[in-house]
Amino acid sequence: MSNRISLTRYLVEKQRLDDHIPGQLRLLLEVVARACKTISHAVNKGALGGVLGSAGSENVQGEVQKKLDIIANEVLIEANEWGGHLAAMASEEMNNIYLIPNRYPRGEYLLLIDPLDGSSNIDVNVSIGTIFSVLRMPEGDRGVEENDFLQPGKCQVAAGYCVYGPQTTLVLTVGDGVAMFTLDREMGSFVLTQDAVQIPADTREFAINMSNMRHWDAPVKRYIDECLAGKDGPRAKDFNMRWVASMVADVHRIMTRGGIFMYPWDKREPNKPGKLRLMYEANPMAWLIEQAGGAATNGRERIMDVQPTQLHERVSVILGSRNEVDRVTQYHLEAGSAT
């Protein structure tokens, strides 16, 4: 019998020891974990499940939706809408917020999701994942509006992701560190495989889409040029590069062994602050990274201090090993960059 503790026991013991996890929040996290198990099962079927390929539609971002994008979104909605823990949901795959139907009790939390991040990798069997962020519904005996979601990342009460790779691993924070749970498929439950995750402050590994180099702002180009110069350059050490093109996979590598991940603003769409979404990609990942001792900025300020103005707004993302992120931020400050 495994001596590892289950996600349920972890959450029950946290609820007993401190007030980080009120009952409704514990239920929310267990329901999301159960939905991730269902999504993992669908992802693992691949071609055998008829779930690969495009759904023939576009999401609010104008991106082609994969069948699994829509399946994952539906799984998360159906799993969460009846439990009485949510006031509403927001998703990368839905233009508007999703209000809990009147036939179900309304709860005190707002759930924001990227149901299946990295979906361009689905059909080529590369790791993808689900990202989620939890906010409290503001006080007031009234209906839920989109503005209720527009809270900075520092207001999150829980955040996490589930990476569907060689293992299915759920990574979670409720504000007192980061824990990792691996899906035990024989038992059908997530079991604690790492607690108190810590990211090394230094790294030799950077993650960025190098094909965008000609579009970058000067501080980013300066940082990457120095990494490429290796031990012959000002950094006096060689670097390695990784780019999975699934934020969940790249962030999980950083949570596991350190590194810096960058999807910075670039000149291709000068009026957009970046590619990645603030509310349900950058904010949850930023909190996890900070809770593990790393840093997460948009080049100028903490991502979690950014005051959202739109539900699907984008942001420049630089996160990971603290000393490397601080260096990039310093280069922006020196350049007086306005990105």
Q: In the complex, which residues of this chain contact ligand P6P (CB under 6 A)? A: 117-118, 120, 209, 245-247, 263, 276
Closest CA relative to residue 208, chosen from 221, 191, 189: 221
Which helix (DSSP H) or strand (DSSP E) does residue 54 occupy?
strand 54-58
Give the CA angle between residues 251, 281, 201 to the nearest 5°: 35
- Known binding residue 117? Answer is yes
Looking at the Cβ atoms of 123 and 184, the one nearer to ligand P6P is 123
**Residues with Cβ < 8 Å from 141, sequence gap 6 or more?**
none
- Which of 87, 276 has the CB closer to ligand P6P? 276
Is 116 annotated to bind a ligand? Reply is: yes
Q: How far is the CB of 213 from ligand P6P (least distance, A)?
A: 12
CB neighbours of 250 closer than 8 A, spacing ≥ 6?
Answer: 207, 242, 243, 244, 259, 261
Least Å from the CB of residue 154 to ligand P6P:
23
For residue 78, say whether it is annotated as part of any ligand binding site: no
Nearer to ligand P6P, 108 or 313 (CB): 313
Q: Which residue number, 70 or 335, has a Cβ lying nearer to ligand P6P?
A: 70
Q: Tell me whether residue 119 is annotated as binding.
A: yes
User: Is 209 annotated for ligand binding?
Assistant: yes
| Residue 133 assigned ligand-binding role | no
Q: Please say which residue, 33 or 276, places its beta carbon nearer to ligand P6P.
A: 276
Q: Look at strands 205-207 and 260-263 and give their pairing.
A: parallel
| Rounded least distance, CB 114 to ligand P6P, Å | 8
Task: Write out the two tokens for 3.
Answer: 């001596």
Closest among 160, 155, 205, 166 to 179, alpha carbons compared = 160
Task: Find out whether 316 is annotated in a ligand binding site.
Answer: no
118 vs 153, beta carbon nearer ligand P6P: 118
Chain residue at closest Cβ approach to ligand P6P: 247
- How remote is the C-alpha of 304 from its chain's centroid? 13
The answer to whether 118 is annotated as binding is yes
Q: Which is nearer to ligand P6P, 5 or 245 (CB)?
A: 245
Q: How far is the CB of 179 from ligand P6P (least distance, A)?
A: 22
How would you classify the pairing of strands 317-320 and 295-297?
antiparallel
Tokens at 16, concatenated:
């007993």
**Cα(170)–Cα(157) distance, rounded to whole angstroms?**
17
Tell me phi and psi for residue 209, to 5 degrees: -85, 100
Q: Which C-beta is closer to ligand P6P: that of 25 or that of 255?
A: 255
**Rounded distance, CA 226 to CA 335, Å?**
16
CB 236 to ligand P6P: min, Å: 29
Strands, sheet with 205-207, edge to edge from the N-terminal-most edge strand: 240-241, 205-207, 260-263, 317-320, 295-297
Q: How far is the CB of 166 from ligand P6P (least distance, A)?
A: 18
- Could you give the CA distance from residue 318 to residue 207 in angstroms, rounded to a whole number? 10
Whole-number minimum distance, CB 181 to ligand P6P, in Å? 21
- Show the CA angle centred on residue 19, arms to residues 18 and 24, nearest 5°: 130
The DSSP call for residue 330 is H
CB of 195 to ligand P6P, least distance (A): 26
Annotated binding site for Mg(2+): 92, 114, 116-117, 281
Annotated binding site: 92, 114, 116-120, 209, 275, 281
Annotated binding site for substrate: 117-120, 209, 275
